[in-house]
Structure 1
Amino acid sequence: MRFRVLGPIRMTPATPSAAKPRAVLATLLIQANSVVSTHTLIDELWGTEPPRTATTTLQVYVSQLRKALLEGAPDGRQPLLTRPPGYLLQVGTDDLDLLAFEALREQGRAAHAREDHAEASRLFKDALDLWTGPALSGIPHGTTLESSAIRLDELRAEVLEQRIAADLRLGRHQELIGELRSLVHDHPLRETVHCHLMVALYRSGRQSDALEVHRRARRALVAELGVEPGPVMSRLQERILAGDPQLAWQGDSGPARALRPPAAAPVVRLPAPVADFTGRAAQLALGHRFLAAAGPETGRVLAVSGRAGVGKTALVGRLAHEAAGQFPDGRLLMALRDSGGRPLDPPAVLSTLVRRLGAPPAGAPGPARAAAGAPGGTIDGADGAGLDEVLYARTRGRRILVVLDDVVSEAQVRPLLTAAPDLTVMLTGRQALGALEEARHLVLDVFEPAEALELLTRCGGEAVRAAPRDAAEIARLCGNLPLALRVAAAGLAARPHWKAADLVARLADERTRLAALAVGDLDVRGSLLAAYRQAGVQERLAFRLLGLAPLPDFPLWSAAALLACPPPEAERYLEELVRGRLLEARPAPGRLTPVRYGFHPLLRSLSLELLGAGSPGATDRLCRAFLALARYADHRLAPGRDRLAAPVEPPAGIDPHELVGEAALSWFQEESAGLLEAVRRAHTDGLWELCSGLAAASAGYYEAGAVWDDWELSHGLGLDAARQAGDARAEAVLLQSLADLDWQRQLPTAALDRYRLAWHLFTQAGDRVSAARCLSGEADVLLGQGRVPRAERGYVRALSGARTTGDARGAAHALRGLALVALREGRSEEALARLAECERWARRTGDRRWQEYALRTTRAVAAGAAPAGRPLEVRPGMWLLSAPETAPA
């Protein structure tokens, strides 16, 4: 075992020494393979008064655990994952003693059910051998760990009692007496232990000792609790007094079996299991562990949540079908919406369940029994009166599994759970029912790619098997959503004349994708629309507008721009959409925006479909927000570079200094995909000025990061936008930037053409600063071709223009070029002088990269490390790997 919680907390290879990290580990292990929320962990560590730094401190503890866990991981995989709204620790049955204990307990119960008592005894003993002390000992307990420790110790006692019961069935009564006397001493109020001891003594010929056990137990119960022994213990005393021969051991039958209560007729009302059920091995295992351990003391509610179409009902239906042996009194599934999709109110839920359960079992208490089935009784209950009592009567003492499908809220099911404390319940719903007391939660997500392909292959027939690459693309376009995959596969199976590539083509356009995912009464759009319609009016509007947000995800500020509201208000809408599973919250630790949001691909398709012709105003607001932030970031990264950087007012509540600050490069790295998407969208919507401005503002980042493909794409769109708008200056700015890209890609002819055209346009527009900068760019190309004299003349002209206009950046560029020329011709002293002047001009720009470049190159030249013919840094971060041969001037 790698982890131990059945005793002192232990982990191999090394247990954390500090108490709080051990408490975090224990809380994650108690709910292994399930998401544990950040709030739960904080409550566990600090109770109701956490420090202001609680979240940060928790992240430190998690980081320490991750490091320790990775060191002990045999396959090098990190088992502790971030999963909204907290963390998930993945462990296998062989890794955690608790999982092994639960598995052995379940196997023991199954052996007992088939009356293989020797096997049951062995399995229960193996389960008990895993314990090394009181559960979860050696750490401070908060609410979660305290209740878990109580539950586990109770489970241990239960398994011990079950092992003793199995041993009694095997005739081991005499050897059990000593152990049972010790247990009676340690647990004087546990009636089951006293009953086992009474039976063991009676079978050993010690009738009087057995009756004395009853007398002592009765005195303890009356003194401590003020109650008499229960009916089982009282009935056992009567049988011992009467010398009941059925109590004597008669082989593997008889006495214990005689104590069983009469069974009521089972109620089974489950839909047929889903054909071709695929994957979900981990979730099924968790569900089976829950069902095996479910009970009033150990927890009896499993809440399965997830977005529409993710397969919640299929999963719980499968679990219910496979749990027949554990619930002999019944299993049923009940939808909590009517045929029109309206949620049932709590009285209707109670009334429906009472009807489904049918007649009450024999021995139901009087009032409830009369209401449940005696003449004149009723369960119609328009006012709901008495339904809770009826339900209690029909479920008391019975092992029944109820699946409540499509639950809307905690209030809808809480009366049922209160009225029927003996029921085991599985719930499904789109929203996580976080306020439901003592529920265990399982969040169901889309399939892993391998599972998605397996489902497509099993359901889609030859068309899928013949084209595995197209099948993978279908799965990707369906977002690995199980319902969409089933519909896609059914569509192919129903149309033998289609190939998988035909479906790929129909799914390619996200605005019409949902139309291709409908076959008969299977309709992905309808399922997604049901979730959409459950949202409020403002949330539905937000859902539609957010379809315009950048891919693959977006920060809060872009949502605020699209929704035309301050960020706090936008965050409320976002969180409501996340709660309704219409949007995803994606933690981004260590980034400028620690939480980002995104759509499942099919939900984004629904959003765009519902938006229809779009909202030009929303696109305009988003692009203006991007432009304000990009220009601010570009100014921090390369002050004075962007010649289109006229002031732009960001939307209300969006502060570039707050969002970007000093981390300009990080901001560009995080938002580059969204920035490129904004350029595309601005071009599509004919927002020419915004399109060219956004492209120009990103050039500094593209150059610094050598992001060539995005550079070319965004500037191609921006250049077209500038020409569409007839903006010659914007055209020139983008041509100059594209010439820089050509130069880096070693396309000298294209670079020279673009520099010269840009120079011509700048000159016509009277922009002498930019024209001079084009001369430096052209000279760079010439120098790279070995045309040193022409390059030198270009740098001299550029320097003259920069000095005349006071352009510090242009002067630094030109002086850097003249230093390279001098170095190329062996004039090191002149190169050093040019570099010193370059550094002075660079300091005036405020551009640290250029200052550092000048100083770095100066040191290299002074040390003789940059002679002609050696690799040389010709601009910040750009190297000429080998000096070209001298070409004609």
Structure 2
Amino acid sequence: MRYRVLGPVAMLPRTPTAAKLRVLLATLLVRAGQVVPSETLVDELWGDRPPRTVTTTLQVYVSQLRTLLAEGRPVPGARDDLLQTRPPGYRLQVGPGELDLTVFEEQVRDGRQAYDAGRHEEAAERLHEGLAQWRGAALSGVPHGPVLSAAAVHLEEARLAALDLRIAADLRCGRHVQLTAELVALAAEHPYRESLHAHLMVALYRSERQTDALAAYRRLRDALVDELGVEPGPGLSRLHERILRSDPALDWRPSSAGGRAPQLWLPAGPAELLGRERATTAALRMLSGDAENPPARVLGISGRAGIGKTAFALDLARRWAEHLPDGQVLVPLRGPGGEPLNAAAVAAAVLRRLGHEVPQGASPERELTARLRGLRLLLLLDDASAEQQVRPVADALADGLLLLTSRRTLVGLQGARHLVLDVLTAAESLRLLFAEGGTGAAADPAAAREIVRICGRLPLALRVAGATLAARPHWTAADLAERLGAAATPLDLLSAGDMDLRSVLAVGYRELAAPERRAFRLLSLTPESGFAAWTAGVLLHTSTEQAERSLELLADARMVEVSGQETGHRYHYHRLLRSLARELLLAEEPVEQREAAARRLGGALLLLARRASDQLLPGRVSDWPEPPGTGVPVSLDASRIIGRTPARWFQEEADSLLHAARQAHQAHDWCLAWQLADALTPYLEAAGRWQEWQDVLDLGLDAADRDDSSHARARLLASRGELAWQRLRTGAARAHFATARALFERLDDPSGVIRCLVGAGDAALSEGDADRAATNYAAALDHAAQAHDARAAADARRGIALTEVLAGRPEDALRTFQEFTEAAEQLGDQRWVRLGQRNADRMLEHLVDWYAHAEVHTPPALEARPGVWLVHSAAIA
């Protein structure tokens, strides 16, 4: 079989004629070897208008494609399951050399490795072969949905990146004269791609056409300034200055007769490093030294994947180049498959960059020490994984500077200084997006800010987003923002050229040990706002202490972030790493395992919320329904987790509780869903989070109906009545309380009845009907006495005191408020104590006015509940 996507989509010996089949084939080919979810295929084939029988229709298309695939096998009609059904979708297996895209990527990878090793002839040959795979615009001849649109952008950027590197290799081989005509055409075709213009300027200069090289720069600068309003990047500006002064270093020099010339230069980095001014200043200060610290001899630059460590290190190396006259060398620390090199391989790789081979039987580390002695050289070791990997180089480079990039901070390197890069600020992120995306990004600042939010201010993600806009001038920033927001995962769209964000982020995941990989996946069941260590323990079904050890390993690998000190650590993902974790959770974690983990967490949050509510409302009769079986670990230490500040615990975990309630509802776990909604009510009411309370009550009532639970419906309707009263919708409040009371009476639930009587009294009081309010409060007090419910009795006295104010009996009201305050003190509810004291103080002040103006007076404004005021405008005669 032969498959082609680098041009018109084709499959040899026979390409499908139906457009939908070609779309299906193309989508599976750009994700060859991966499981493509059925949902993704449906979106690609039909967008937002799938047919009514979409599942059956997709299966028919898959079957037809399988038949065509079987026709192309060596044995006619053979079905060897090239197109496999793998939940949650399908996977197309492609053999070696069968897909032009795979051949292209392999040739480019080999060419890049040869280029980095200084084997420029070999690099040029490999890259020429890879680019020969292209037969036109990628994925042409088929309609594009979200996956193919993103893939087309990615592939075109990959082609341009390979072309860029091939031209650089040809220039290293002295082919500047032959390249000139091609580069003139490419510069016209890509008027804003600065790297191509830089190659053109170098080729012209080396062809003894200095004037033409300077003219090429002027044309580019005029185009950038006039059309985009930006100046050329600093790299191109420096090249212009070097051409102006006829810098001898620009001249081409062939390799020495004795063999390959050592590569004492660095590869091209981004044209301009944006948003790293503070980090650059700090790094230069470390390299310079000060009164307290000597100049750094080893500087580690760490941060999560995609943060821009290599770009920062390259920029820093160029700034420091004049201090190290023997040159600058970059050494990638990974093999062809992305595996970390060991220490001996690293030493050998450095030697090869310097033009030396390790003698047979010799130790690379000892050979390196001998070769580096006395060299004032800058070595940049890129993507280190551990201290032992780079320690021999650090020990050998006594007279130079070693720059290291790594995700982990390599604290075990003696004498090393360290700099940790974080995401950009919002303003820096916009600058980077505008610089990469040009007018398409800058034309709509609101959409640009949304792109920045979705990208989580991660430099690589912003560069890819900008490159996508630049490559598709018919897209606006709003188009990209909408596509990113609607995508099942934004990583599908964040790929351009050789900048594949998913692959970059996945490297850190692959290097984790199996327990940490599982933790990385399962912890994505938490909300974006983060989680505590005990949460990880529940999800992983282990102790909090063991979970903390896994979390620290994930944090060291920059796969999760840590915040908080005084109230305990909180952990969270960068939003794009969370997207990766969710993908991996669905792809690698068995359904029953992830459902069990989510249920454990929901059950744990339910138990803790109930305990915290009991602390928040001391003295309340514990009338919680029996919790559903969720497999919560018996070792869960609620007292330690909540502490003595239940309100603060609720504040920290409110998002987790809301998230768990939604997850339970989505999983059709109705009992858990409505119980979580019920348990959230005390906190959401006390915190005044009305909209969230409304949302979770709607969800809980739907779950209660589906669970056919009258008890749940009664409790949640009472909560809905309380919310309606808080929002001054007293008619709705009365209706909810009446319905809930009838249910509670039928269920013989005295606590529920009392709650509804007090609520109805509050509603009547708000409507100015003191008599009806007093009747309800009196009935509630009577029921509370029979049920021996001290908290309900205190609440009823609070209402009675308010009716006494309206009835013009201030002495009675003062006495009842004092009784309420004493009851609150006995319950241990300080919020109610302070409420009673405030109202009693106001009544004492009012009594003075009462006796001074006994004929007519206006009742004072009082708090019906903490923070909820009852203001009376009518005077009482």
Corresponding residue number in structure 1 for 2:176: none
Offset from partner CA, 1:620-679 (integer Å, 9 cap, x none): 111111111111111011132774354688524321111113211121122222222222
1:266 positional shift = 8.4
The residue type equivalent to 2:327 in the other structure is G
Offset from partner CA, 1:560-593 (integer Å, 9 cap, x none): 111110001101110111111101111x2332xx
1:616 positional shift = 1.1
The answer to whether the aligner puts 1:684 opposite 2:680 as a matched pair is no
Alignment of 1:873-888 (within 5 A): 873-883=863-873
The residue type equivalent to 1:322 in the other structure is R
Alignment CA distance shift 1:642-1:706 (3 Å): farther
The answer to whether the aligner puts 1:763 opposite 2:721 as a matched pair is no
What is the SS of the residue equivalent to 1:826? coil
The answer to whether the aligner puts 1:798 opposite 2:780 as a matched pair is yes
Counterparts of 2:789 and 2:365, CA distance in 1: 83
Corresponding residue number in structure 1 for 2:586: 612
Corresponding residue number in structure 2 for 1:208: none
Alignment of 1:375-386 (within 5 A): 379-381=358-360, 385-386=362-363
Contact 1:802–1:810 (CA under 8 A) maintained in structure 2? yes
Q: 1:786 aligns with which of 768, 790, 793?
A: 768
The residue type equivalent to 2:267 in the other structure is P
Corresponding residue number in structure 1 for 2:79: none
The answer to whether the aligner puts 1:336 opposite 2:333 as a matched pair is yes
Counterparts of 1:842 and 1:287, CA distance in 2: 60
What is the SS of the residue equivalent to 1:343? coil
What is the SS of the residue equivalent to 2:846? coil
Contact 1:331–1:402 (CA under 8 A) maintained in structure 2? yes
1:492 positional shift = 1.5
Corresponding residue number in structure 1 for 2:310: 313
What is the SS of the residue equivalent to 2:414? coil
Contact 1:338–1:344 (CA under 8 A) maintained in structure 2? yes
Unaligned runs of 5+ in 1: 1-264, 360-377
1:858 positional shift = 3.5
Contact 1:786–1:884 (CA under 8 A) maintained in structure 2? no
The answer to whether the aligner puts 1:869 opposite 2:869 as a matched pair is no
Corresponding residue number in structure 2 for 1:271: 267
Contact 1:551–1:677 (CA under 8 A) maintained in structure 2? no
1:518 positional shift = 1.6
Counterparts of 1:313 and 1:881, CA distance in 2: 64
1:397 positional shift = 2.1
Corresponding residue number in structure 2 for 1:670: 652
What is the SS of the residue equivalent to 1:692? helix
Alignment CA distance shift 1:380-1:853 (3 Å): same
Offset from partner CA, 1:529-583 (integer Å, 9 cap, x none): 1111010111000000000113311111111111110001101110111111101
What is the SS of the residue equivalent to 2:519? helix
What is the SS of the residue equivalent to 1:716? helix
The residue type equivalent to 2:699 in the other structure is L
The answer to whether the aligner puts 1:627 opposite 2:603 as a matched pair is no
Corresponding residue number in structure 2 for 1:644: 624
What is the SS of the residue equivalent to 1:268? coil
Alignment of 1:251-650 (within 5 A): 268-293=264-289, 298-358=295-355, 379-381=358-360, 385-508=362-485, 511-586=488-563, 588-591=564-567, 594-612=568-586, 615-639=594-618, 640=620, 643-644=623-624, 646=626, 650=632
The residue type equivalent to 2:864 in the other structure is V
Contact 1:641–1:700 (CA under 8 A) maintained in structure 2? no
Counterparts of 1:395 and 1:884, CA distance in 2: 93
Counterparts of 1:641 and 1:753, CA distance in 2: 25
Contact 2:784–2:793 (CA under 8 A) maintained in structure 1? yes
Offset from partner CA, 1:24-62 (integer Å, 9 cap, x none): xxxxxxxxxxxxxxxxxxxxxxxxxxxxxxxxxxxxxxx
Counterparts of 2:337 and 2:262, CA distance in 1: 30
The residue type equivalent to 1:757 in the other structure is T
Alignment CA distance shift 1:290-1:813 (3 Å): closer
The residue type equivalent to 1:466 in the other structure is A
Counterparts of 1:738 and 1:473, CA distance in 2: 35
Contact 2:372–2:396 (CA under 8 A) maintained in structure 1? no
Range moving further from structure 2, 741-750 or 709-718: 709-718
Counterparts of 2:550 and 2:488, CA distance in 1: 23
Alignment of 1:64-143 (within 5 A): none
Counterparts of 1:545 and 1:408, CA distance in 2: 24
Alignment CA distance shift 1:671-1:610 (3 Å): same
What is the SS of the residue equivalent to 1:508? helix
Counterparts of 1:563 and 1:351, CA distance in 2: 42
Unaligned runs of 5+ in 2: 1-260, 851-857
The residue type equivalent to 1:429 in the other structure is S
1:443 positional shift = 0.5
Contact 1:453–1:475 (CA under 8 A) maintained in structure 2? yes
Counterparts of 1:294 and 1:401, CA distance in 2: 21
Contact 1:870–1:883 (CA under 8 A) maintained in structure 2? no
The residue type equivalent to 1:794 in the other structure is N
Contact 1:785–1:884 (CA under 8 A) maintained in structure 2? no
Counterparts of 1:509 and 1:600, CA distance in 2: 19
Counterparts of 1:693 and 1:473, CA distance in 2: 35
What is the SS of the residue equivalent to 1:721? helix
**TM-score normalized by the length of structure 2:** 0.65
Corresponding residue number in structure 2 for 1:818: 800
Please list every run of at least 4 consecutive aligned residues from structure 1 whose deviation after the TM superposition is greater than 6 angstroms: 294-297
The residue type equivalent to 2:432 in the other structure is L
Counterparts of 1:769 and 1:388, CA distance in 2: 78
Contact 1:567–1:653 (CA under 8 A) maintained in structure 2? no
What is the SS of the residue equivalent to 1:406? strand
1:731 positional shift = 1.4
Contact 2:324–2:400 (CA under 8 A) maintained in structure 1? no
Counterparts of 2:488 and 2:819, CA distance in 1: 57
Counterparts of 1:783 and 1:796, CA distance in 2: 13
What is the SS of the residue equivalent to 1:644? coil
Offset from partner CA, 1:492-537 (integer Å, 9 cap, x none): 1222222222222222257421111122332110001111101011
Alignment CA distance shift 1:486-1:635 (3 Å): same
Offset from partner CA, 1:131-169 (integer Å, 9 cap, x none): xxxxxxxxxxxxxxxxxxxxxxxxxxxxxxxxxxxxxxx
1:610 positional shift = 0.8
Offset from partner CA, 1:403-444 (integer Å, 9 cap, x none): 000111110111122233223100011111010010010111
Task: Pick the structure with greater CA Rg.
Answer: 1
**Aligned-CA RMSD value:** 2.5
Range moving further from structure 2, 389-398 or 526-535: 389-398
Q: How many residues align?
A: 599
Counterparts of 2:873 and 2:688, CA distance in 1: 21
Alignment CA distance shift 1:883-1:687 (3 Å): farther
Offset from partner CA, 1:835-857 (integer Å, 9 cap, x none): 35444654564434334433443
Corresponding residue number in structure 2 for 1:15: none
Corresponding residue number in structure 2 for 1:698: 680
Offset from partner CA, 1:741-767 (integer Å, 9 cap, x none): 111111111111111111122122221
Counterparts of 2:555 and 2:531, CA distance in 1: 14
What is the SS of the residue equivalent to 1:612? helix
The residue type equivalent to 1:869 in the other structure is P
Contact 1:699–1:711 (CA under 8 A) maintained in structure 2? yes
The residue type equivalent to 1:344 in the other structure is L
Contact 2:802–2:864 (CA under 8 A) maintained in structure 1? yes
